[in-house]
Amino acid sequence: MKRLVFCFALIYSLEAAEVKPVPPPGVTISEKDRGELEAGLARLEASIQGLRGSTLAADVRIFHEAVRYALEYNEFFATEDIVRAKELLREGQARADLLAGGQSPWATAGGLVVRGYVSRLDQSVQPYGLVVPPTYAPNLPHRWRLDTWFHGRNEKLSEVNFLWDRMHNPGEFTPPDTIVLHLYGRYCNANKLAGEVDLFEALAAVKRQYAIDENRIVVRGFSMGGAACWHIAAHYAGMWAAAAPGAGFSETPEFLRVWAKETLKPSWWEQKLWHLYDATDYAVNFFNCPVVAYNGEIDSQKQAADVMERAMAQEGLRLMRVIGPNTAHRYHPDSKVAINRIIDGIAARGRDPVPRKIRFTTWTLKYNRMKWVTVDGMDKEWERARLDAKITDDHTVAVRLANVKAFTVAMGPGECPLDDTQQPVVLIDGEKVSAPAPMSDRSWSAHFRRSGGRWATAESAELPGLHKRHNLQGPIDDAFLDSFVMVRPTGAPLAPGVAGWVKSEQEHAIREWRRQFRGEAQVRDDTQVSDADIAASNLVLWGDPGSNRILARIADRLPVRWTRDSIEVGKQKFPAATSALILIYPNPLNPKKYVVVNSGFTFREYDYLNNARQVPKLPDYAVVDTTAPPDERFPGKIALAGFFDEDWQLSQ
């Protein structure tokens, strides 16, 4: 067994060595510097132990974790990083000492401030930077505009370097009377997957500490940050006052062909999964969010705005563009002035949370909300769904749909423009459907569902039985956008010949989560998984029903058959001795959470080299032929892959 595991690890290391490591290896640290850093870490750790229970402890822990990661994982990329780390330890210790005495001056300070929060994904502490305007005062009866900034690609952007930069550099844009939130985004992923969650967790942390105007939040970024802005603005268009992406990329296939000069040979499921992030597929959503795009006149990354302009034009929308004259991959000073004038004017007016007209598209229930409408069910995931809604008069709402079988209308207190003395009329594709009247606080909500070809109101948004729904729709990578626990097997496997693959892939998933998404995965032996884990987290189960006791408990409730001899998926059968099952499915022990079998996030080393490639590479399930070794693109030869249907069953 040990020899087999070693062989898999050796094969994997040889394959992975063919691509450049991201992040790169660090520089050599002298014993003197190492000793000084370790002593500073130990002292700060002892101080942090005394701060348990403090709501501001994360503001101290960010310094400790930044230096610990760099020291433990060889991520000092230049000698100056070591100097920076020592300064960060001094700053962290100073904060710890102040907080122990009941003081936290940074929490109300203006200027450049770094802070942190504890992520629900893996319980890691994540940093963010703020630029707090000189006009800020915590006791003013005022709500502040907030601009979020997505940073560009930097493979050496360790937590040490991020914190240092955020303590010394205000960034590209500092609008007056505005708090600017600089996101770490969990390193270098264009705010996809855990990087996307970082936006909302950091935003929630800022809202807890500062009075933010929900209707004056702007998203901005440049280069890789421009790509992040395109993605976040298109998929969550109803949340922002405005969006200002600069350069970057806005989709995967054309960008890789045109800009990266790459020959693409995607599988059918990879092409479907491009619909998760390609902003071009969501172009009509910019009907609901003002956007101004920037690129330099001679910047090849103008391609992002070019393709978005074409996609928006197909929806009857004209993209506002600012172009830096004779400028490459940077902002032109005059263009910054023009962009600020546009964005400041839009932000001053603010977002309209309940416009009279909405145009919305999605390809997945992951992105299912626009302003006051929410798609609760689709006829078929990974095909385009459309929902256009219009308040036509003071008591009528007209809705046009495609690939939608259930939806909700919801307007908050004081937001409903309908006449609350009349019964509202809802027209769904011309069909008249009665709906409950608005409440006396001027709020209104109603759920609608199609059954037997007819529309009717429903008691709730929840469809009866097991169905794909928001945050329970797959693919495999979706399990890593909420709290998850890696579960190691401790028993005897049904297929000993695959045990080496399982161990290698498990170690790969844990290692690469930390390298690419900057947290340390929670890991338990299968004998240690608690009821609390099952209730609160997605479970990532490694092994097979023989080796993993949690998997053994649920194996007969999964839509596959797994025995000592074979893995059966529908009518197809694969030898258990040389095959591994990969799967995401609602946890039979808690159907509100996922189980994942034998997989971490699904893009790999080759995809780290270009952010446009960092999209899910496997759908809801796959069978891996382990006679072909893992490489920098796949965990082995993919013998079968597919998506479950809307009822989480194998498609016929």
Residue 17 has pLDDT above 50, yes or no: no
Give the pLDDT band of residue 389 (cuts 50, 70, 90).
very high
pLDDT-derived band at 652 (thresholds 50, 70, 90) equals low
Q: Which runs of consecutive H residues, i.e. helices, occur in 103-193?
A: 159-168
pLDDT of 14 higher than 80? no
pLDDT over threshold 70, residue 272: yes
And the tokens for 73? Answer: 């994982």
Q: What is the pLDDT of residue 73?
A: 98
**How is residue 538 written in tokens?**
């997605």
Report the pLDDT averaged over residues 251-277. 94
Of the listed ranges 26-30, 262-266, 551-555, 567-571, the least confidently predicted one is 262-266
What 8-state DSSP symbol labels residue 633? S
User: Residue 2: what pLDDT?
Assistant: 31
Query: Whose CA is closest to 143, among 272, 241, 221?
Result: 241
Q: What's the pLDDT score for residue 464?
A: 86
Task: Band the pLDDT of 322: cuts 50, 70, 90.
Answer: very high
Give dist(CA 77, CA 26) in Å, integer.
4
Q: Strand, helix or coil at 355?
A: coil
Q: Does the structure show a pLDDT above 60 at 197?
A: yes
Q: What is the mean pLDDT of residues 215-229?
A: 98
Q: According to the model, what pLDDT value does residue 312 have? A: 98
Cβ atoms of residues 164 and 91 within 8 Å: no
- As annotated, the residues of the chain forming the CATH 3.30.379 domain(s) are 476-642
Residues 581 and 560 sit within 8 Å (Cβ to Cβ): yes
Tokens representing 183 are 């996101």
Q: What DSSP line would sit under 405-430, residue for residue?
A: EEEEEEE-TTT--S-TTS--EEEETT
Residue 1 has pLDDT above 90, yes or no: no
For residues 621-630, give the mean pLDDT: 98
Contact 539/595 with Cβ under 8 angstroms?
yes
> For the chain, first and last CA: distance in Å?
39
Between strands 431-434 and 425-428, the pairing is antiparallel
CA distances from 173 to 169, 188, 219, 585 (A): 11, 21, 12, 43
SS3 489: coil
Reduce the DSSP state of residue 574 to 3 states and report it.
Answer: strand
Bigger pLDDT: 259 or 199? 199
Residue 599 pLDDT greater than 60, yes or no: yes
| Mean predicted lDDT score pLDDT of the chain | 95
| Three-state secondary-structure class, residue 444 | strand
Q: 533 is written with which tokens?
A: 């884990």
> E-assigned strands of 172-255?
178-183, 212-222, 242-246
Does the pLDDT value for residue 36 go beyond 80? yes
Decide: residue 623, CB within 10 A, 0-12 exposed, 13-18 middle, 19+ buried: buried
Phi-psi domain of 145 (left: phi exceeds 0; alpha: psi -120 through 50; beta: other): beta
Q: pLDDT of 413-433, one tens digit each? A: 999 999 988 889 999 999 999
Query: Going by CATH, does the domain composed of 476-642 fall within 3.30.379?
Result: yes
Give bridge partners of residue 171 from the DSSP assignment. none
Distance between CA 34 and CA 40 in Å, rounded? 10
Question: Does residue 71 contact residue 41 with C-beta atoms inside 8 Å?
Answer: yes
pTM of the full predicted structure? Answer: 0.96
Predicted confidence at residue 420, as pLDDT, reads 85
Please give the structure tokens belonging to residue 10: 């050796």
Q: Assign residue 2 a region (left: φ > 0; alpha: ψ between -120 and 50; beta: otherwise).
A: alpha
Taking the C-alpha atoms of residue 339 and residue 319, their distance in angstroms, rounded to an integer, is 14
Write down how long the chain is. 652
Cis amide prior to 21 (ω within 30 degrees): no
Alpha-carbon gap, residue 168 to 160, rounded angstroms: 13
Which residues make beta-bridge pairs with 340?
Answer: none
To which H or E segment does residue 92 belong? Answer: helix 79-100
Residues 297, 322: Cα–Cα separation, whole Å: 9
Q: What is the pLDDT of residues 453-474, one digit of tens each?
A: 999 999 999 888 999 999 999 9
Indicate if the alpha-carbon torsion angle 244, 246, 251, 252 is positive or negative: negative
What does the radius of gyration of the chain's CA atoms come to, in whole angstroms? 25
How many whole angstroms separate alpha carbon 197 and alpha carbon 202? 8
pLDDT for 57 = 98
Average pLDDT of the segment spanning 328-352? 98
Contacts of 464 (CB under 8 A, 6+ apart): none
